[in-house]
Amino acid sequence: MPDTTPSATRWLTLHEASARLDVHPATLRDWADRGRVRTFRTPGGHRRFAEEDVNALAGKSAPGLDLFLSATVGQARLAASAGRLASETWYSRFDEQAKVRQRELGMDLVRVLAGYLGAPERGWQAEIAELGERYAGLAGDVGLSLGESLRAFHIFEGVVRSSVEQLTAAQAGGAQMERPVSWFLNEVRVAMVESLNEARA
């Protein structure tokens, strides 16, 4: 619940708080809306964020998977705003509908990954296969070659890995997440390639 009256708490601007957390401003707004960070609005309508809460999030030793999801979305927005996708020639073939499908697919992948990280002992092959088929379907619909499909997936993989690094940097032994994340992403990649090969056989 946002604060309406600032007290003696020190408050940060949106730019200061998002830079300290290394997340996109939209991600920080989402966290604030969900009560992760206390906020108030200035008379001019600008948000201010409680420094104490921002520091607590920055140093959180075991971030929840919902924060992992939000951070990944934030990293995806950063990647898009930095022009990484726009610099790829094949991305010009993505019309607005394809871009929406890509974003939705990315969100679904991260949700399944979050579930896998929370319960790795459960079988996830069906979900992984479905994600691979959906990536292959999108690649086929926009006319990507196998190489272009792999490059597209590699960019999103980089977004996920950046989020994992961001959220485990403060943890002792934070690298423990890297192996299961790598396994999961590789399995989705393999499922995508197998589906593409089947479609083109």
Query: Measured between alpha carbons, how far is 121 from 190 in angstroms, rounded to an integer?
Result: 20
Amino acid at residue number 9: T
* Token pair recorded at residue 22: 């290394």
Average pLDDT of adjacent 10-residue blocks, the chain of 201 residues: 57 90 75 83 91 80 59 68 79 90 86 82 91 96 95 88 68 64 94 93 73
User: What is the helix, strand, coil percentage profile of the chain, to 5?
Assistant: 70, 5, 25
What is this structure's pTM?
0.65
CA distance linking residue 159 with residue 23, whole number of Å: 12
Q: What is the pLDDT of residue 107?
A: 81
The predicted structure's pLDDT at residue 69:
65
- Intrachain domains 11-58 and 65-200 with the same fold: no
Q: What pLDDT does 187 receive?
A: 97
pLDDT at 167: 62
Q: What is each CA distance from 95 to 12, 98, 136, in whole angstroms? A: 38, 5, 17
Which CATH number among 1.20.1070, 3.10.350, 1.10.490, 3.40.50 corresponds to the domain 65-200? Answer: 1.10.490
Residue 73's SS3 state is helix
- Cα→Cα distances 180→57, 87, 99, 119, 145, Å: 23, 30, 28, 11, 28
> CB within 8 A of 62, min separation 6: which ones?
171
Instruction: Classify residue 60 by its DSSP letter.
Output: -
Q: What is the pLDDT of residue 4?
A: 46
Quick one: pLDDT at residue 173?
42
How crowded is residue 104: how many other Cβ atoms within 10 Å of its Cβ? 12
The predicted pLDDT at position 62 comes to 45
Query: Residue 179's pLDDT is what?
Result: 85
The full set of domain ranges for the chain reads 11-58, 65-200
Number of helices and strands in the chain (H, E) = 8, 3
Q: How open is the CA angle 55-66-20, to the nearest 5 degrees?
A: 25
pLDDT, position 150? 95
The pLDDT of residue 166:
67
Fold annotation for 11-58? Multidrug-efflux Transporter Regulator; Chain: A; Domain 2 (1.10.1660)
- pLDDT at residue number 172: 43
